[in-house]
Structures are given as structure tokens and as C-alpha cells.
């Protein structure tokens, strides 16, 4: 589409007009915008003082919507950009007001101040069995002496923590090859637990089979869906039939029990030794450097000294720019987002719950103010942890 057909046009400029001329003009305009921005933030301080006296909420969606519609209308051909600019100014102002008003009063802020700093307790719950990658993650995080309790399903681990059979649960959240473990994301939200730690486990998948089996004799492989996805090329190359299992180590345990030379499991070498299986081939994952991120969950908030990652979950209205507005507030405060994940909301077509990780500590006032501000503005918001 040409500029003329789109209704856009370039200005006619004198022959001797160059970039230095227009840059001088832009620098002057930018200076005025900066001065006005500072004035606007000082005005926001006065707004905060009035709201404190009157008890009015910081976030006033009806007024905000009216302002944005007016700005877009008056912006003419630049209406969309003007709306985005004003929305960003409003968001920055709301976060600043949150910082001014709720030094010690906010409920979420109080939770941050009273959170534990030390991970206490020795009862650990894992999904799977001895030799599972979750077992390795538990040892890696809590120490080699830990002897976790094992459960068949992810749901069972959450229930063990709920009923206080266990102090903490160890669960996989995402893999560098196969992506997120969606069941764990959903359970984390449903139970309202906190992430209090994490550890990355190197994944070195092995093809495990009973004594006497060979690569040529294997017809069926058993493993967790994530492991099957991580070894997809290898499986396709050998023409194996795949069978999903709740856990790799449990699959290995059953392959040993069946003692059938046509059946093999994909699991760790530790599982192979545990169940006396031969390693027919090692390192069969599609990508070298494959890792799984395991999280440590708890019913209670724990924010240890030096915690530098924060996880949140929230929903947004199905409106143009709603996600951009949230993300821009992190950028405006100099905060690095390291991950964003979305999950569909059941029964609500094309509506999503977002999971977001960013670098920071809730005892940093800017970070705390932003989280508290978002928590008051969103219809659904959950702080998942700082670890």
C-alpha cells in the first residue's frame, strides 16, 4: 500500500533542510515533554494526598477509560499512539501513588514483611519413585541425605502439602526442550501455594531395558509425555511405539517387573541402577544441554535473603493493549521479565491466565509498589513467590 493510498503523507521540506535541523526541534520538544512529565508526577503526589484523606481508591477505571477515549479522539491521526502514551503515564502514576500511600498499610505488603526467611522442615514430597528426576531435584536442593516421600500424581504432591504430611513439594515446571508442565501451573493456581525455591536439573535420558534386550528387540517405550517429547527424534528414528506414563522412574520400575525384551523405558541412569536395567543407549534427548526447572512449593510464604526472582499469575480483560500495558510497567520501572506463559481459562473461550517471572525482590520499594498496585487493579491476581 502506498502512502498516498493510505492517507498518510510526507511533508514538503526545503532542499537545505537536514537531520540536524529536525533533531534540534525534537530535542526541544522532548525537553518540554520531560518537564511536563515531572510536573504531572508532582500532581500525582497531590492526588495521592487527597485520596489518603478521603479514602478513595488509587485505581479508578471509569475515569481512566474516559480519559483514554478523549485522548484518542483528540489525537486525530495519532489517536492510537496518544492513547498508548497516556495509558503508560496513568500506569506510572498509579504505581507511584501506591508507593506513597501504602508504606505499611497494604495487606500484601504486610505479608511480605512477615514472610519467613528460612526453609524449615524435613518432610519432602515428590512425584514418582526413587531415581526419578524429581528425586534428583530434591537431593540437589535439600542435600543428599534427604529421603522424600513419593506419590503417583502431581495432584497427590499438592494434597500431601495441603494435609501437612509434607512441608514442601518438589515438582517440574518447565523443560528447555518440551516447554511448560501445564498441569503443575494449573495446580499451583488452584491450591494457592507459594514457590519458595527452584533448582535446574540436567536431563540425560537413557534407554533402559531388561537384561538380554537389544536395541533391535525393543518395540515399545514407556515414559512421561515430557520425556517422550524431549526424545521425539530418537523415537521416530527407531520406529518405537510410545506409551505415556505418570513418571519416568515408575516406567522403569514396571519395565523391570515385566522383564520383556521388547519393552524399554526412558529415564535417568540412576533409575536404571535402582531397578537393575541395562542402559542400551545414553543421552538420547534431542537437544544437548536439556534441563528441567523444578520448583519447591509450600503452603507458607518464604522469602529468603538474596531472593531475586518473582512469579505472578493474573488475568486481564479481553481488550486491545491490556497485556502491553502490564508489561510496559515493568519496563518503565527497569525490571527484566524473564518468562511469560499463558493458560486458557476453562469454560471461558479465548480468555487466558498469565504466568510471569521477573527479576527483583519484594523488599525493593519499587518492586513492592508495582506488585501491590497490580494486585488492586486486576480482577484476579496472585503473588506466587519470591525465591
pLDDT band at 13 (very low <50, low <70, confident <90, very high): confident
pLDDT band at 75 (very low <50, low <70, confident <90, very high): very high
To 10 degrees, what angle do helices 79-101 and 19-54 make?
40
Average pLDDT over residues 28-32: 96
- pLDDT tens-digit readout, 236-264: 999 999 999 999 999 999 999 999 999 99
The Cα 49–Cα 234 span in angstroms is: 64
> What value, to the nearest 5°, has the Cα angle with vertex 299 and ends 296 and 305?
60
Q: Percentage of residues in the chain with pLDDT exceeding 70? A: 97
- pLDDT tens-digit readout, 117-134: 988 888 999 999 999 999
The Cα 95–Cα 266 span in angstroms is: 49
Label residue 379 left, alpha or beta by phi (over 0 means left) and psi (-120 to 50 means alpha). alpha
Question: DSSP string of 282-329?
Answer: E--SSSTT-EEEEEEEESS-B--TT--EEEEEEE--SSTTHHHHHHHH
Asked if residue 142 has pLDDT above 90, the reply is yes
Q: Is the pTM of this model over 0.85?
A: no
Q: Which residues are catalytic?
A: 292, 294
Say what the pLDDT of residue 332 is.
84
Say what the pLDDT of residue 105 is.
52
The Cα 345–Cα 180 span in angstroms is: 16
Say what the pLDDT of residue 14 is.
85
Say what the pLDDT of residue 94 is.
87
Say what the pLDDT of residue 130 is.
92
Say what the pLDDT of residue 288 is.
87
Q: Percentage of residues in the chain with pLDDT exceeding 90? A: 72
Average pLDDT over residues 99-117: 81
Asked if residue 287 has pLDDT above 70, the reply is yes
Say what the pLDDT of residue 217 is.
98
Domains and CATH numbers, the chain: 20-101 (1.20.59.10), 124-203+291-298 (3.40.190.10), 206-282 (3.40.190.10), 305-386 (3.30.70.260)
Asked if residue 187 has pLDDT above 70, the reply is yes
The Cα 372–Cα 102 span in angstroms is: 9
Amino acid at each position: 500500500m502506498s502512502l498516498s493510498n493510505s492517507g498518510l503523507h510526507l511533508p514538503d521540506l526545503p532542499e537545505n533542510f537536514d537531520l540536524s535541523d529536525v533533531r534540534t526541534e525534537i530535542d526541544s520538544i522532548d525537553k518540554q515533554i520531560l518537564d511536563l512529565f515531572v510536573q504531572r508526577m508532582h500532581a500525582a503526589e497531590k492526588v495521592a494526598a487527597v485520596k489518603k484523606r478521603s479514602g478513595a481508591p488509587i485505581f479508578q477505571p471509569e475515569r481512566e477509560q474516559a480519559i483514554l477515549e478523549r485522548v484518542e479522539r483528540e489525537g486525530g491521526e495519532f489517536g492510537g499512539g496518544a492513547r498508548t502514551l497516556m495509558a503508560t503515564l496513568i500506569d506510572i502514576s498509579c504505581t507511584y501513588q501506591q508507593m506513597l500511600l501504602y508504606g505499611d498499610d497494604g495487606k500484601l505488603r504486610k505479608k511480605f514483611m512477615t514472610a519467613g526467611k528460612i526453609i524449615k522442615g524435613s518432610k519432602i514430597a515428590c512425584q514418582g519413585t526413587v531415581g526419578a528426576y524429581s528425586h534428583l531435584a530434591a537431593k540437589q536442593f535439600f542435600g543428599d541425605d534427604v529421603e522424600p516421600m513419593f506419590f503417583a500424581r502431581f495432584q497427590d504432591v499438592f494434597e500431601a502439602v495441603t494435609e501437612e504430611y509434607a512441608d514442601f513439594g518438589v515438582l517440574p515446571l518447565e523443560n528447555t526442550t518440551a516447554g511448560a508442565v501445564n498441569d503443575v501451573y494449573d495446580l499451583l493456581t488452584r491450591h494457592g501455594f507459594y514457590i519458595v525455591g527452584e533448582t535446574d536439573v540436567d536431563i540425560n535420558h537413557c534407554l533402559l531395558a531388561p537384561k538380554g534386550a537389544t536395541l533391535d528387540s525393543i518395540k515399545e517405550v514407556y515414559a512421561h509425555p515430557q520425556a517422550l517429547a524431549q526424545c521425539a527424534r530418537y523415537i521416530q528414528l527407531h520406529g518405537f511405539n510410545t506409551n505415556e506414563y505418570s513418571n519416568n522412574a515408575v516406567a522403569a520400575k514396571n519395565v523391570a517387573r515385566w522383564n520383556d525384551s521388547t519393552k524399554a523405558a526412558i529415564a535417568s541412569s540412576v533409575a536404571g541402577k535402582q531397578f537393575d536395567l541395562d542402559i542400551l543407549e545414553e543421552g538420547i534427548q534431542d537437544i544437548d544441554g536439556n534441563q528441567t526447572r523444578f520448583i519447591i512449593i509450600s503452603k507458607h510464604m518464604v522469602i529468603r535473603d538474596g531472593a531475586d526472582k518473582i512469579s505472578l499469575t493474573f488475568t486481564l480483560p479481553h481488550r486491545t493493549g491490556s497485556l502491553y500495558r502490564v508489561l510496559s510497567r515493568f519496563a518503565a520501572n527497569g525490571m527484566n521479565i524473564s518468562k511469560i506463559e499463558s493458560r486458557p481459562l476453562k469454560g471461558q473461550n479465548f480468555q487466558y491466565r498469565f504466568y510471569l517471572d521477573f527479576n527483583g525482590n519484594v523488599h525493593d520499594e519499587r518492586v513492592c509498589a508495582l506488585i501491590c498496585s497490580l494486585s488492586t487493579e486486576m480482577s484476579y491476581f496472585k503473588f506466587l513467590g519470591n525465591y
